Amino acid sequence: MSLSALEAEYFASPLSLDELSTPCLLLDEERMEANARRMAAHLGHMPLRPHLKTCRCWEVAQRIMQGTSCTVATMGEAEAVANLGAQDILLAVGIRPSLFARSRALMAQGIDFKVILDSMAMARALCADAAAHEVVYSVLLEIDTDGHRAGLAPDGDELCAIAGLLVKAGQRVRGVLTHAGAAYNCATPEEIVAMADKEGADAVAAAARLRQMGIEVDIVSAGSTPTALLGTPNPGLSEVRAGVYIYMDLVQAGLGVCKREDIALSVLTSVIGGFPTGKDLPARVCTDSGWAALSSDRGLERLFSAQGYGLACDMELHPLQGLVVRDLNQEHGMLCLDDTASAATRDFVLGLTPASRLRILPNHACATAMMHKCVYLVRHNRAVARLPLFGGW
Amino acid sequence: MSLSALEAEYFASPLSLDELSTPCLLLDEERMEANARRMAAHLGHMPLRPHLKTCRCWEVAQRIMQGTSCTVATMGEAEAVANLGAQDILLAVGIRPSLFARSRALMAQGIDFKVILDSMAMARALCADAAAHEVVYSVLLEIDTDGHRAGLAPDGDELCAIAGLLVKAGQRVRGVLTHAGAAYNCATPEEIVAMADKEGADAVAAAARLRQMGIEVDIVSAGSTPTALLGTPNPGLSEVRAGVYIYMDLVQAGLGVCKREDIALSVLTSVIGGFPTGKDLPARVCTDSGWAALSSDRGLERLFSAQGYGLACDMELHPLQGLVVRDLNQEHGMLCLDDTASAATRDFVLGLTPASRLRILPNHACATAMMHKCVYLVRHNRAVARLPLFGGW
């Protein structure tokens, strides 16, 4: 994709949301800016290295990056933002041999590119590649603070053994990284605060052990949207990472990290069936937003039981209480009224016509955004720009 | 996207699967061809109008289309295949006003483009657009045979009332369409056979009612992969539709529609963490295939309880019994050994290195394919071509 194809296209005149082809992704600028301000105010002097895997959008990235530093989840994202101007890029998913050549190419471009790993096996593979190609990788050791996914024990022998191997092979150990993804399994904000404390403390402790080995640690990186916003950053961290915070979603609202009114992302959808034929409410309302537009992400269902595939709202983003996104097929959304349906919701449904549109707030903003190639930037309920999304591997 | 960008790129020399960047989508040609032959043999003289929403791939489409006829789920797919050479296109998701202009453009190109609808409200909107632009739409009335999603009762008054309105307005009622999507909720193959019988009988009955009105019905269309393959097509149908059958997936295997060995689609993934450090099995194996590569589709979990996010296999597609794709994050897959792990699986896991790769069979082929921009065609376990995927709205 060419660079210009990844830049925002601002319209000469704003478009009514009724003019957009559906389904499509909408980004409310005012809510997004408020989310950005909230994170900045909360972190104070603690630097933020935003994770761009949520937005995958250069226009959004430019509004939240401090300088040229960012986090990405794929090499495709890294290459895209490097071409767009990011200089200080952290790939926060474990490096593997198939990405060594492309990593070297980024470094040869002058990018301060950092990779992570959490095993002696991968460290050896990286050292072998570095020796064969006479390069020095910048490596962060991934630390496990929650038993959730990946990482080395902050107090285990392996951490120092791997660091020692890398240093001996002439590689640059820049520090540590951790992500308390288990924050998404917390039932209360208090649990998230405790997890944030542990996330920060473990990362700082691991970094201290590297420093005791004589390693010059310049990066002590931790974070997730829940822990970043509900916790207080450990002053021993050098940076905090977060991505979803800029959009927010129903998962974050369910965790108590934000309010529903903070959710900046929505899917614009048209009603294609289930029009009332008289005074009776239809059994279901059918829309053109299936999982191809919303994703199949069921959000916090595991934690809080069934919740549907998003929150149906009217065109001004007022939730339609009791109109549940019950089921999705590829290009169909099936919405049903449940017992909690308000009078306003019933009136809304009774008034549906072939021209009717809805907006669906996403369970998981990363997953919903991933289904789209562009997002429309919405200001005062009109689309002012089309923002292309990058991505891929 | 240019036309050439949507055509297959065959490699000068086949690539080893170890040379491909991961995660990526693989299509086993031999299995795909066998699936195509099975459907053709089963249907006999009954025409098949393949649904291209699963493959979204012109190379695959050309191998299964009979003449130039196909089914699509979005206007973006319709436009893509029209440009590639399809002439007889059925959009099998309800038409809505925002697609009228693009529908007219396809018809103006000479495409025999057919739309579906299931309400008086949408029929009126279509007639108004047709009158304003002096065009004649080809309309199929959607019939509800399973109470699942959409459609008119085959024996209700509304069917004839809508047909009458369309005819009176000079529109062309070409016939009826139904899709027994509830086949996916069947617990046994016998239930699917019964649903296939009802799907065909209801479509034929609805068509007979239109013929009684003097309408020249040339399309009586029904189908889904389960009902098409397990049922016997009603001779009153003019065509059968199916899409997943060409790839198959764990949902189809769970329903008894295919065997696991028939599944032609898989995701190639690299191991990025959880390498054994001695004789102990790791708590988890981490791969680079999260939901961004596999989708969050949980398959038949509602019917058959927890089943994970796909089936882990070795590079020759032998299932690794007991190595469960337990959880997915955006770009991480977390695989765990359960009590059913075979000795072969344990040995496989104990032998994992940074060069190790796996193949994951998908729960739902449509959903997994949707996450990718291309698929590699695999012949004798080597990639012989890169096939771009079309799509979008």
On whether residue A7 sits in a domain, the answer given is: no
Instruction: Provide the shortest C-alpha distance from residue A334 to chain B (in Å).
Output: 7
B96 in contact with A, Cβ within 8 Å = yes
Q: Which of residues 347-386 of A touch B (CB under 8 A)?
A: 353-355, 366-367, 370-371, 373
Residue A361 pLDDT grade (very low, low, confident, very high; cuts 50, 70, 90): very high
Write the DSSP assignment of A298-321 as a string of letters.
-TTHHHH----SSEEE-TT--EEE
Task: Say which CATH number the domain at A99 has.
Answer: 3.20.20.10
Q: Which of residues 75-94 of A touch B (CB under 8 A)?
A: 75, 93-94
The percent helix, strand, coil of chain B (3-state, each to 5) is 35, 25, 35
Burial (CB < 10 A; 0-12, 13-18, 19+), residue B328, is buried
Q: Which residues of A touch B350 (CB under 8 A)?
A: none
| CB-based contact A382:A14 (threshold 8 Å) | yes
On whether residue B252 sits in a domain, the answer given is: no
In angstroms, rounded to a whole number, what is the distance separating the alpha carbons of residues B375 and B25?
Answer: 5
**Average model confidence (pLDDT) across chain B:** 95
Q: At what angle do helices B157-168 and B189-212 cross, to 10 degrees?
A: 50
Residues A123 and A238 both lie in one domain: yes
Inter-chain CB proximity B292 and A371 less than 8 Å: no
Residues B231 and B266 both lie in one domain: no
On whether residue B114 sits in a domain, the answer given is: yes
Q: A364: which DSSP letter?
A: -
- Evaluate if residue B5 carries a pLDDT over 90: no
**Which of left, alpha, beta for A265 (phi over 0: left; psi -120 to 50: alpha)?**
beta
Residue A42 pLDDT grade (very low, low, confident, very high; cuts 50, 70, 90): very high
Of the residues B247, B268, B303, the one at which a domain ends: B247
pLDDT of B303? 73
Q: What SS3 state is found at B240?
A: strand
List the single best residue of A296, A309, A358, A390 to mutate versus B (max B Cβ within 10 A).
A296
Q: Which of residues 190-219 of A touch B (CB under 8 A)?
A: none
Residues A191 and A267 both lie in one domain: no
Give the closest of B97, B270, B331 to A98, CB-based: B270
On whether residue A156 sits in a domain, the answer given is: yes
% chain A with pLDDT above 70: 98
| CB-based contact B250:B310 (threshold 8 Å) | yes
Q: Would you give the distance in Å from CA A245 to the centre of its chain? A: 8
On whether residue A311 sits in a domain, the answer given is: yes
Residues B270 and B240 both lie in one domain: no
pTM comes to: 0.96
Asked if the interface predicted TM-score (ipTM) of this complex is over 0.85, the answer is yes
Residues B221 and B369 both lie in one domain: no
Dihedral angle sign, alpha carbons of residues A31, A36, A41, A42:
positive
In angstroms, rounded to a whole number, what is the distance separating the alpha carbons of residues B99 and B96?
Answer: 6
Q: Which of residues 321-340 of A touch B (CB under 8 A)?
A: 329-332, 334
In angstroms, rounded to a whole number, what is the distance separating the alpha carbons of residues A199 and A206?
Answer: 11
Q: What SS3 state is found at B362?
A: coil
Phi/psi at A8 (nearest 5 deg)? Answer: -65, 140
- Buried (b) or exposed (e) across A187-201, using 16+ Cβ within 10 A? eeeebbbbbbebbbb
Write the DSSP assignment of A29-61 as a string of letters.
HHHHHHHHHHHHHHHTTS-EEEBTTTT--HHHH
In angstroms, rounded to a whole number, what is the distance separating the alpha carbons of residues B109 and A255?
Answer: 52
- Evaluate if residue B211 carries a pLDDT over 80: yes
Instruction: Provide the shortest C-alpha distance from residue A382 to chain B (in Å).
Output: 17
Residues B239 and B289 both lie in one domain: no
Give the closest of A74, A149, A288 to B329, CB-based: A149
pLDDT of A376? 98
Residue B379, token pair as written in the block: 């012949």
Lowest mean pLDDT of A360-374, B134-148, B290-304, B373-387, name the range: B290-304
Residue A13, token pair as written in the block: 């005149």
Give the residue-averaged pLDDT of A107-120: 97
Q: A260: which DSSP letter?
A: G
Give the closest of B158, B277, B296 to A367, CB-based: B296
On whether residue B12 sits in a domain, the answer given is: no
On whether residue A177 sits in a domain, the answer given is: yes
Domain of residue B227: give its range: 29-247
> Which tens digits make up the pLDDT trace of A50-103?
999 999 999 999 999 999 999 999 999 999 999 999 999 999 999 999 999 999
The total of other beta-carbon atoms located within 10 Å of residue B17's CB is 18
Q: What SS3 state is found at B25?
A: strand
The total of other beta-carbon atoms located within 10 Å of residue B68's CB is 15
Residues A73 and A195 both lie in one domain: yes
Q: Which residues of B touch A15 (CB under 8 A)?
A: none
Q: Which residues of A touch B272 (CB under 8 A)?
A: 93-96, 122, 150
How many domains is chain B partitioned into structurally? 2
Inter-chain CB proximity A288 and B96 less than 8 Å: yes
In angstroms, rounded to a whole number, what is the distance separating the alpha carbons of residues A74 and A392?
Answer: 7
Residues A51 and A192 both lie in one domain: yes
> Could you give the maximum distance between any two Cα atoms of chain B, in Å?
79
Dihedral angle sign, alpha carbons of residues B154, B160, B161, B166:
positive
Task: Say which CATH number the domain at B336 has.
Answer: 2.40.37.20
On whether residue B332 sits in a domain, the answer given is: yes
Residues B219 and B294 both lie in one domain: no
Give the residue-averaged pLDDT of B111-139: 98
What order do you get walking across the sheet with B172-178 strand by strand? B48-50, B239-242, B219-222, B172-178, B138-143, B112-117, B88-91, B69-72
